[in-house]
Amino acid sequence: MPSAVPAHRHTTGITRRELLQVGYSGLLGIGLPALLAQQASAAQRAGRQAGRKPKSLILIFLTGAPSHLDMFDLKPDAPAEIRGEFRPIATKVPGIQISEHLPRLAARADKYALVRSLAHRENNHLVATHHLLTGYPQPGAFFDKVASRDDWPCYAGALDYLRPRRDAIPNGVHLPTFLMEGPLTWPGQHAGILGPKHDPWQITSDPNVADFRVDSLRLAPGLEVSRLNDRQALLGEVDRQQGRLADLAAARRLSDQQQLAFSMLTSGKVAQAFEIHREPAPVRDRYGRHAFGQSLLLARRLVQAGVPVVQANMGRAQTWDSHGDIFSRLKDKLLPPLDQGVAALLDDLEATGLLEETLVMLLGEFGRTPKISAQRAGQKPGRDHWAPCFFGFFAGAGVRGGQVLGKSDKIGAFPTTTPYSPDDVGATVYHVLGVDPGVEVRDRQNRPVRLNRGAVMQSLFTGRTG
């Protein structure tokens, strides 16, 4: 159990250890499995269903909140100030229409299900992001409440707590950006109350750049894995060179997880997944030579390597926050690379047989206002925050494609069917990962708490809404 003794905290509420997520985080064991002695009891706590193989998750997060009205729930018959500039197009599935600027996804509508009735009450980016990325409301939430160890665990963090591993593969990787803006650090990216040792890996390198590399999978300068014959020799070499790591606080706490950390470095399985340059050029081109596409290709490679939870942030914090100039931003900058990358991901997962084993989720923290905002000085119109109604996109892991669940009203303001909440999204994620959503976990003070209070979205898998 993580210690209840508080660590030094910066003004953002994040500990120094949390700020060391990038660089040597993999080397030092942050986010690696718990001590081996905990493994047996943790597997039992996970509450896996007998006979059902746990599956994987690729969460494509549109940070900043995309417009449901301009992507997957268009209202062509609404007044101009509601419907906007985009028009719907037919998809491969009769009766389902989506935005004209998502032609590749329109051609693959049989592979995914749309939910048009997600809803919650949190119009603030940080609070809403926590809810979506953890499946639980942020404890003690207030406007712009930054990340802290009082937060609920993200999906990868909870999985690592409940099902620790010793096979040199992390339970979660978040890429290619860490969501921060100025003094604000977005909650929902950590293991929260479960402690930093269960944090997912945070990768902050653009896989589209020519010199892409992940320093957290590399040794300190001067250490060459290839010239060390075994892991014990590697550990000995590290011990002799620890002076080079003296400036890193975590380096002084290398402990029982040391062997696990270095086995990850030397096993090569995960490290090779990051060698995206080994992919054939036509495959990389199909995803698109941009951050969106290459991040999704990297997500596929990590799932193939055995990482069960990969979160791909499409953009930096608030990239999709289109208060102004929404239509040109979506049409020219955001929707084309998203359409290309997600379509290629679905094709690849299906071709490799991974689609039935991997849940793909595409969503943001909320939607956008039905009514287009008045034109501001020097700025074209946009749409503001809107949590009462937004979309979710789900594929793989047994999801029945070619269906729409839920319905919004004539202007996309409120669901006209029973809404689904972020808690239900979380319950569905845990169900797919082979975890009982209602399982009891313990916080840093060893207090028992229920992991999730939502209901699994069974209609995604059965196709029955009644």
CATH classification at residue 97: 3.40.720.10
- 365: in domain: yes
Domain annotation covers residue 258? yes
> 3-state class of 297 per DSSP?
helix
Does 1 fall in a domain? no
Nearest to 399 by CA among 344, 458, 339: 458
Distance CA 385, CA 407 (A): 19
C-alpha–C-alpha distance, residues 346 and 354, integer Å = 9
Distance CA 441, CA 428 (A): 18
Question: Which amino acid is residue 83, in one-letter code?
Answer: R
Q: What confidence score (pLDDT) does residue 248 get?
A: 40
For residues 350 and 337, what is the distance between their CA atoms, to the nearest angstrom?
20
Supply the pLDDT for residue 444.
81
CA-CA distances (angstroms) from residue 367 to 124, 188, 212, 322?
A: 11, 18, 33, 10
Sequence-ordered list of residues with C-beta below 8 angstroms from that of 378, at least 6 positions apart, any chain? none
Task: Name residues of the chain where pLDDT drops below 70.
Answer: 1-52, 215-267, 375-377, 464-466
Evaluate whether 79 touches 200 at the Cβ level (below 8 Å): no
User: CA-to-CA distance for 82 and 70, rounded, in angstroms?
Assistant: 10
For residue 172, list its beta bridge partners.
309
Q: Is residue 2 part of a domain?
A: no
Write down the pLDDT at residue 15.
Answer: 40
Question: What's the CA dihedral at 123, 129, 133, 138 to 10 degrees?
Answer: -80
> In this structure, is residue 196 part of a structural domain?
yes
The answer to whether the beta carbons of residues 113 and 461 sit under 8 Å apart is no
Strand 403-405, strand 112-118: pairing: parallel
User: Considering the domain boundaries, does residue 274 fall inside one?
Assistant: yes
What is the total count of domains within the chain? 1
The answer to whether position 6 is within a domain reads no
Domain boundaries, position 441:
18-462
CA-wise closest residue to 111 among 390, 394, 363: 394
Asked if residue 169 lies in contact with residue 161, where contact means CB atoms within 8 angstroms, the answer is no
